[in-house]
Amino acid sequence: MTILDDVDQLTTERMRRMSPGNQGKLPPVDLTGLPPGPKWPVLLQTAGLLRFRHWFHPHLRKKYGDVFTVRLAPGGRPLVFFTRPEHAKEIFAGDPEVFHAGKANGILGPIMGEHSLLLQDSSEHKRARKLLMPAFNGHALREYQSLVTEVARDEVATWRPGEEFRSLDRMNRLTLEVILRVVFGVTDESRLAQLRPCVNAVVNISPAILLGWGYPKLQKYGPWKRTVDNQRLLDQLMYAEIRERRTASDLAERSDVLSKLIVQGEDGDALSDTELRDQLVTLLLAGHETTATALAWALFEVGRSPELLARCRQAAAEGDDDYLDAVMKESMRLHPVIPMVVRTLMQPATIAGYDLPKGTTVGPSIIIAHQREDNHEDPDAFRPERFLGHNPPTNTWIPFGGGVRRCIGAGFALMEGVAVLREVFAAYDVSAVGDDEPKVRNITSVPRNGARIRVTR
Ligand code: HEM
C-alpha cells in the first residue's frame, strides 16, 4: 500500500466512523420542572436559535427572565440558557465528568476527527489539553509574535490608499495565512499554494455540506463529492507535512505550533500522526474565522469614530499594545463571535436552583452576558477604556467560554489581534463605510456587509 492509499483509507474510515448517524445517541430527557420557555413548535424554536439568535436571546430573556429553556429539533431536546454571571460560574466550574462539551460538537466529527480537542471529554480531553497547552502558553505566544507581525505586514502592504473593501474578507485571508504559517508551520511555497484553496474550501461548512455528513450516500454526488475529494487532498497534504516535520533537522528551533506539539511529545506521551492531524484541523476551524471576525468588527468600530482612530494610531506609533488589546476585547464584547457555549449533563445537576435531569444541555448566553446593563455600563457603546487597567468582573465577559474548556487559543487570538491592529494603524487611517449588523454564519456571527472600511493615509 502506498502512503497515498494509506491516507485515503484513513479519510474514508474517519468520515464513516464520525458520521452523525454512527455517533452514540443521548438518552431521552424528562421535561418536567425545566425552566420556562416558548411553547412554539420545535422547528420554529430551532430556527429562532440558529438563524435569528440576536433577536431571540434578548426576546426570551425579556419574556421568561434570567433562565429559560429552548427546545431543539430533532426530537425537542431541551437547551437551558443562563444569563447571570454566578450561573455561568456554576456551569464553567462543573465537574468535567458530568458537564460534557464534546457531545454538542459531534456534528463536526467527520472533518475534525475523534481526537479533536473540541470533541473529546473526560480523561481523553484532559490528556489532549495537557499535550496542547505548552504550545499556547505565554512563552510560546511570544515566539509566534514576529511571524504573525510579518504576515500582517505583508497583508497590509497589498492595500492601496483610498481603497474601500470588506475588511472581513481581508482579515479572513490574513488569519488563514497565520494558521498555515504559524500554526501548521508550512514554509514550502508550493505546498502553501496547494493548501490555500484546499483549506479555504474546508472551512466553508454550509448547512448543505453538513447534510452530506449526516447522509454518507450523498457523498457520491455533486457538492458533497467535491467536499470529500477536497478533504482527501487536505489530509494528503497534512500527513505529508507531519511526516516530513518529524524528521526535520531544525525541529527543536522552529517556532510553529505543529513543531512544538511534536517536540513536546518526545519526552514521553506523544501525539500520533492521526492525533496531530485532528488537532491541526481543529485549530484551523476554531481559530481562523473567529479571529478574522473579531478583527473586522474592531476595524469597523474604530473607523466609526475619529477620536478612537486617533487613539489607535497613537497606540500603534508608541507601541501601546494595552490599548490595542482593549480594542480587541471590546470588539468581542459588543459583537460576540460565538453566541453561546454549551455542556450536556451526563448526570442530574442543580444550576441556579433548578434540578436538571441527565441529558439536558445547558449553557451561558454570551450575547446576553455582554449586553446586560448590570454587567457593562452603557452596553451598546464601543468603549475600549472598559478594559484598560482592570478586567471586568468574572464571567461578565466570556467570549472565549470558561472553565476547563475555555478557548485554548484565547491568548493566541489576542496576540494576533494586537499585532494586526498595530500594523494597520501604523500605516493607515480607517473609516467605516455604511452600516453593519451581525448575521448568523453557521456557528459564528459575522458582520452582514463584511464590515466595509476605506483606508487612507
Ligand atoms: C476571537 C477569536 C476566538 C474566539 C471568539 C474563540 C471562542 C471560543 C469558544 C467560545 C470556545 C468554547 C469554549 C467553551 O466551551 O467554554 C473555544 C474553544 C476552542 N478554541 Fe477558540 N476562539 C477564538 C480563537 C481561537 C484560536 C486562535 C484558536 C487556535 C489557534 C482556537 C482554538 C480553540 C480550541 C482548540 C477550542 C476547544 C477547547 C477545548 O474544548 O478544550 N480558538 N473558542
Out of 92, 126, 400, 446, mutate this one to test ligand 1's pocket (max ligand atoms within 8 Å of CB): namely: 400
| Residue with CA closest to ligand 1 atom 37 | 118
H helices within 104-256, ranges in order?
109-112, 122-132, 138-157, 167-178, 189-203, 207-214, 222-246
Tell me the backbone φ, ψ of residue 100, rounded to 5 degrees: -90, 135
Q: Is the pLDDT of residue 24 over 80?
A: no
Q: Residue with C-alpha cell 481559530? A: 287
CATH code of the domain in which 211 resides? 1.10.630.10
Q: Is 105 near ligand 1, meaning CB less than 6 Å away?
A: no
Q: What percent of the chain has pLDDT over 90?
A: 78
Mean pLDDT of the chain: 93
Whole-angstrom distance, CA of residue 80 vs CA of residue 402: 17
Residue 104 lies in a domain: yes
Residue 76 lies in a domain: no
Residue 321 lies in a domain: yes
pLDDT single digits (tens) 71-98: 988 788 999 999 999 999 999 999 999 9
Residue 312 lies in a domain: yes
pLDDT score recorded for residue 271? 92
| Residue with CA closest to ligand 1 atom 25 | 287
pLDDT single digits (tens) 196-247: 999 888 887 777 777 777 777 778 888 888 888 889 999 999 999 999 999 9
- Going by their DSSP bridges, the two strands 429-432 and 452-456 should be labelled as antiparallel
Number of domains in the chain: 1
pLDDT score recorded for residue 335? 97
Are the CB atoms for 244 and 115 separated by under 8 Å? no
Residue 292 Cα to ligand 1 midpoint, Å, equals: 13
Residue 78 lies in a domain: no
Whole-angstrom distance, CA of residue 356 vs CA of residue 71: 14
Domain that holds residue 388: 3-30+83-456
| DSSP run (H or E) holding 354 | strand 354-356
pLDDT single digits (tens) 398-426: 999 999 999 999 999 999 999 999 999 99
Q: Is 445 near ligand 1, meaning CB less than 6 Å away?
A: no
Are the CB atoms for 456 and 162 separated by under 8 Å? yes
pLDDT score recorded for residue 4? 64
Residue 37 lies in a domain: no
Q: Grid coordinates in use for 139?
A: 512563552
pLDDT single digits (tens) 141-167: 999 999 999 999 999 999 999 999 999
Q: Is 400 near ligand 1, meaning CB less than 6 Å away?
A: yes
Residue 218 lies in a domain: yes
Q: Is 286 near ligand 1, meaning CB less than 6 Å away?
A: yes
Identify the band that residue 299 occupies on the pLDDT scale cut at 50, 70 and 90.
very high
| DSSP run (H or E) holding 410 | helix 410-427
The model carries a pTM of: 0.95
Out of 144, 407, 446, mutate this one to test ligand 1's pocket (max ligand atoms within 8 Å of CB): namely: 407
Residue 276 lies in a domain: yes
ipTM rounded to 2 decimals: 1.00
